Amino acid sequence: MHPSIEKPVAANPNDHLAIALDLPDAKQALALVDSLGNTCKWFKVGMELYYAAGNSFVHELRDRGFSIFLDLKLHDIPNTVAGAVRSATQAGASLLTVHASGGAAMMAAAAQAASAPGAPKLLAVTVLTSMDANDLAATGVVATPAEQVLSLAKLANAAGIDGMVCSAEEVGTLRAELGPQTMLVVPGIRPAGAATEDQRRIATPAAAISQGASMLVVGRPITRATDPAAAARAILEEIARALSSPSTAALKK
């Protein structure tokens, strides 16, 4: 365990799980939300659903008492991204993603826009969990995924971004490098025995939490389950066990 990391007291597993509503429209997404009841606190709204349903869907979830992770992976010129952050503030999102590969100036502009009251915390997407070394090389990046994630995370941290999105393979390194205050969000979570589908760099919920993840993003293992609420409860129970383990690296938002 990194010496500067301390374990939180009475961590609530619901604070560490966001369910990805990767669905094509609000009707299907709300049906899923209803099927989950009050099992979970956080929902991730990505590009597919946001472009179909817009801010009204975010408002609907907020009115129901949920916290919203708006995963738009903003990547444009600094002025445009700053304007998008201000718009997301009006939508009521609590978390918002930008692409770290957009560069220091873009991320600094986003961070400045996010300094306004009520603005979401910003997360920098490092290397997508669907990509491996061959995929990076095809885009001209000669670094390994782990090297590229660390490089982009340091750039984002210096630009004032609150947290990072990375795979479980890199989360331990980032936790040690960036310390306990940085929020580290890990997608590509697959319970033992679940299909990997289009994800490459994956991990179980317990493995990601034990390495220092602050929040896990889980989609298809829950949303395509026969009983989504039962699937979510099983993952929350695994998170709770990992959080209570003496060997778990600290999580701090």
**Whole-number pLDDT of residue 11:** 76
- Would you say residue 79 lies in a domain? yes
- Residues 150-209 have pLDDT tens digits of 999 999 999 999 999 999 899 999 999 999 999 999 998 877 545 445 445 567 899 999
- Residues noted as catalytic: 73
pLDDT at 200: 52
Over range 118-144, report the average pLDDT.
Answer: 91
- CATH number for the domain spanning 79: value is 3.20.20.70
40 lies in some domain: yes
Arithmetic mean of pLDDT, 73-78 = 98
State how many domains the chain has: 1
H or E element that contains 150: helix 145-158
Q: Decide if 145 is inside a domain.
A: yes
Under 8 Å CB-to-CB from 127, ≥6 apart: which residues? Answer: 136, 145, 148, 149, 152, 166, 167, 170
User: Would 64 be classed as within a structural domain?
Assistant: yes
Please report whether residue 251 resides in a domain: no
Banded model confidence at residue 132, pLDDT cuts 50, 70, 90: confident
The predicted structure's pLDDT at residue 70:
97
Q: Is residue 75 in some structural domain?
A: yes
Angle at 152 between CA 151 and CA 154, to 5 degrees: 70
Buried b or exposed e, range 207-222, using 16+ CB within 10 angstroms: bbbbbbbbbbbbbbbb
Which residues form the domain of 127? Answer: 13-244
- Greater confidence (72 vs 196) lies with 72
